[in-house]
C-alpha cells in the first residue's frame, strides 16, 4: 500500500506515540485483559491513521468528454448556485463530502490548462454547512477544458481539517484524473460546471475519485 507524502510526519508521530504508550501499558501492573484491550485500541487507532493517508491506484481509461469525481466520498449537493469568486454568474455545483475514513487524495476532474488558483484562510464550519463554501478555509482551482470550457473546483476544510494542500500552478497543463491536492481529515470538494452540463450522479451517491463520472458535456438532440 502506497502512503501519501503529506502523511509522513503524522504517521511517524503516531507510531512513536503508540510505541511509548504500549511500552507504558506493558510496564504497568495492569491485569492482562486490560493490557491486551488497551493495546488493541491503540493498534486500531494507528491503523486508521495510516489508512487515512493511503493512495489508491486508479488507472482506468479516461473519457475526454467526462467530468470525474475529484475525491472519494458522498454527493451531498447538486444545485444551481451563483459563483462569487471567479465566474460571478450561475453554475451547476456538485459537492462531495469526504468522511475521515475516505481516501483524501484529490484528483483533477478534467484535463486542460490551469487558469486560476487561490488559497483562502477561513473558518472550520462542518463541511456540509451551507456557508462552508464561502467562509471556510478553502483553495480554488480553475481549469480550462477544450470541450467544457472553464471548470472550477474548490477544496473546502471541514470541522476537523486544518491543512489543505494544493499542487496546481496557473499556466500549467494538467491531465484528467491526475493528483492535484490533499486535505487532512474530514472535508469537501465542490465542482462548478457550466449551466446545461449533464449531471450523471445522484444526491447521496457514493463516488470514487478519478473513477466515477459525475457529469458530461451537454448532448444536443
From residue 17, give the alpha-carbon distance in Å to each of 20, 31, 48.
5, 22, 14
DSSP state of 217: P
CA distance 28 to 32: 10
Q: The cell 462552508 sits on which residue?
A: 132
Residue 86, burial from CB neighbour count under 10 angstroms (0-12, 13-18, 19+): middle
Residue in 198, 89, 97 with CA at minimum distance from that of residue 152: 89
Instruction: Return the number of other C-beta atoms located less than 10 Å from residue 62's C-beta.
Output: 14
Nearest to 187 by CA among 162, 211, 210, 207: 162
Confirm whether 39 is a catalytic residue: no
Q: Which of 133, 139, 168, 187 is catalytic?
A: 187
Strands 206-207 and 73-83: antiparallel
- Which residues are known to be catalytic? 187
Amino acid at each position: 500500500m502506497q502512503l501519501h507524502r503529506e502523511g509522513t510526519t503524522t504517521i511517524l508521530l503516531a507510531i512513536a506515540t503508540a510505541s511509548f504508550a504500549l511500552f507504558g501499558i506493558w510496564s504497568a501492573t495492569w491485569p492482562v485483559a486490560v493490557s491486551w484491550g488497551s493495546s488493541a485500541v491503540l493498534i486500531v487507532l494507528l491503523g486508521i491513521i495510516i489508512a487515512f493517508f493511503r493512495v489508491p491506484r486508479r488507472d482506468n481509461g479516461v473519457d475526454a468528454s467526462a467530468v470525474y469525481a475529484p475525491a472519494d466520498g458522498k454527493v451531498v449537493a447538486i444545485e444551481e448556485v451563483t459563483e462569487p469568486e471567479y465566474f460571478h454568474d450561475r453554475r451547476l455545483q456538485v459537492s462531495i463530502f469526504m468522511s475521515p475514513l475516505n481516501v483524501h487524495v484529490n484528483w483533477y476532474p478534467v484535463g486542460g490548462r490551469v487558469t486560476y488558483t487561490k488559497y483562502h484562510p477561513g473558518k472550520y464550519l462542518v463541511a456540509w454547512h451551507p456557508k462552508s463554501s464561502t467562509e471556510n478555509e478553502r483553495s480554488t482551482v480553475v481549469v480550462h477544458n477544450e470541450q467544457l470550457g472553464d471548470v472550477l473546483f474548490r477544496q473546502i476544510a471541514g470541522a476537523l481539517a486544518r491543512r489543505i494542500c494544493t499542487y496546481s500552478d496557473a499556466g500549467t497543463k494538467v491531465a484528467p484524473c491526475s493528483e492535484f491536492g490533499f486535505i487532512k481529515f474530514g472535508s469537501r470538494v465542490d465542482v462548478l460546471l457550466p449551466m446545461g452540463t449533464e449531471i450523471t450522479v445522484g444526491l447521496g451517491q457514493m463516488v470514487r475519485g478519478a473513477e466515477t463520472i459525475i457529469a458530461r458535456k451537454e448532448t444536443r438532440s
